[in-house]
Amino acid sequence: MVHSKFKQSANMNSEDTPNQMCICCQKLSYGLGHVFNDLCAAMWFSYTLFYFQVVLKMEATTAGILLMTGQVVDALATPLAGWLIDCTGRRKIWHFSGSMAVALGFSLIFSKKFIDVDSDILMFYMLDITLFQIGWAIVQISHLSLIPEISQSHAHSSDLTAIRYTASVCCNMTVYLVTLLILKQNVESQAVGPADFYKFKEIALIITFIGIMSCMLFYCGLLGRYGDGYETLREPEDVNNLNDNNRHFMKSVVMYTVALMYMASRLFTILNLIYIPLYIDERSTTDQTRIDEVRETIATVPLVSYIASFLTSILLKYKNGICNDKMIYAIGTTFGLLSSILIGIGVPTTSDTELYVIAALIGISGSSTMVASLCLTANFVKTNGHGGGMIYSLVTFTDKLISGAVVLLVQNIQCTPRTLCPHFYENVLSYVCGIVSMIGLSSMVTLEVKTNRH
């Protein structure tokens, strides 16, 4: 009898171990599913505008139109992708087709060098960007909508979100390291310019190769019908609930508040990604003695920011039971406001120490607010029981459309020639990003008041 019980216990333990190993493997594989998107996004936001203006010598307005085109296409494709994914439920197939579109469109953006940018060339870039952004939207929504489907609890959902963001940070770090290594090789001139076209093309091809390999590992790790083994969950009715179960989510003020928080977090990160390289180039024009360091700092400053993001995302993995998502978001926006204030005060051109400190603050802010807003969104999806694809598509729609509009506005108010406004990008990083942080903080306060009433 005792021997039988011992044997039964041993069998149970042997079954639990593979189950835990499968869950860990599933989490790691899930993190690889958005790597290609994250690699391309790091290149797109950090260096595309820089590439158009500094390497291809496009007008600021033309470069802004191309970036705006990408954001508008992405914003319009996102709700459609969410609707189609929810209707068909074939998330991995959608993910694969989106990845192929990303691979083709992204590589073509950096594949051609034209002497003059006429209407035909502009159309070429618009078509490539459209293909890239449609694929990007499909991959993003299909990947995000897997969180509520495979998560077993809010803690599991938080783990998947943190792992996803950690993978995103690692991807950005990879892009900056590759950029640093490529730009420092066989330097023909100290300043970055048209001669560096082939270096940016090489960077894009390396990113595409790494992204495709990551997608293959993602599909292998999530083979099988994993969704059938999980219970469809609904959070208990308590103060942490973010829903009114009797109302449609489109009528929920909370949904729009969470969307605004996500938008503010993304917009703050995107604006810093786009304009930090241009700000560094701007600093070098005001101090010619620093021009030889531009090749290094346009990669190392964003790299420091994402190292800070990486460390923050690791710490946030253990936030459960210490502080809630709204508190994390408030702390993150405070760091963001501090970075904007320091840039507004002025960063001395004699040293880059202050610049790296500001980059670290930006990284901490972006990581904290992004993880917190995604956790709040996942909680909203789980507690309402609606399709994850449509919710996430609506939440990200605002961020993409507004970010494109803000960039286009900034590009159109830029002085011509640039020497008339020697501190233009400094003011963008200070005032515009500061306002965005205030919007995010105000949204968080509104959400806190709304949930406390219920």
Rounded CA separation 95/222 (Å): 12
- For position 2, what pLDDT does the model report? 47
CA distance 347 to 81: 43
| Pairwise CA distance, residues 170 & 223, whole Å | 24
The pLDDT, as a whole number, for residue 234 is: 41
Is 218's pLDDT higher than 90?
no
Highest mean pLDDT among 4-13, 25-34, 54-63, 313-322: 54-63
Average pLDDT, the chain: 80
157 token code pair: 């959902």
The tokens of 372 are what? Answer: 């917190």
Q: Which of 379, 280, 359 lies closest to 312, judged by CA?
A: 359
Instruction: Average the pLDDT over 265-282 and give the result.
Output: 91
pLDDT mean over 246-261 = 70
Residue 329: how many CA atoms within 13 Å on its side-chain side?
32
The CA–CA distances, whole Å, from 55 to 107, 128, 280 equal 16, 18, 15
More confident residue, 21 or 171: 171
Question: In terms of pLDDT, which residue wins out, 115 or 336?
Answer: 336
369/422: higher pLDDT: 369
Q: Model confidence over 363-408: pLDDT tens digits?
A: 999 989 988 888 887 777 666 655 556 676 677 777 788 888 999 9
Mean pLDDT of 281-304: 79
Angstrom distances, CA of residue 291 to CA of 283, 298, 428: 8, 11, 21
pLDDT digits (tens, 9 = 90+) for 304-351: 998 998 888 888 877 666 778 888 999 999 999 999 999 998 887 777
- Orientation angle between helical segments 197-221 and 154-183, nearest 10 degrees: 150
Annotate 320-366 with DSSP letters as a single string: TTT--HHHHHHHHHHHHHHHHHHHHH---TT-SHHHHHHHHHHHHHH
Residue type, 417: P
Cα 431 to Cα 436: distance, rounded to the nearest angstrom: 9
118: left (phi over 0), alpha (psi -120 to 50) or beta: beta
What is the Cα–Cα distance from 40 to 173, expressed in whole angstroms?
12
Q: Residues 61, 412: contact at Cβ < 8 Å?
A: yes
What domains are defined for the chain? 22-222+238-453 (1.20.1250.20)
Sign of CA dihedral 17, 22, 23, 27: positive
**What is the band of 237 on the pLDDT scale with cuts at 50, 70, 90?**
very low
Residue 25 clears pLDDT 70, i.e. is over it: yes
In terms of residues, how long is the chain? 454
Half-sphere exposure of 347 (CA within 13 A, CB side): 28
Contacts of 30 (CB under 8 A, 6+ apart): 143, 146, 150, 160, 163, 164, 218, 221, 222
What was the pLDDT predicted at 179? 93
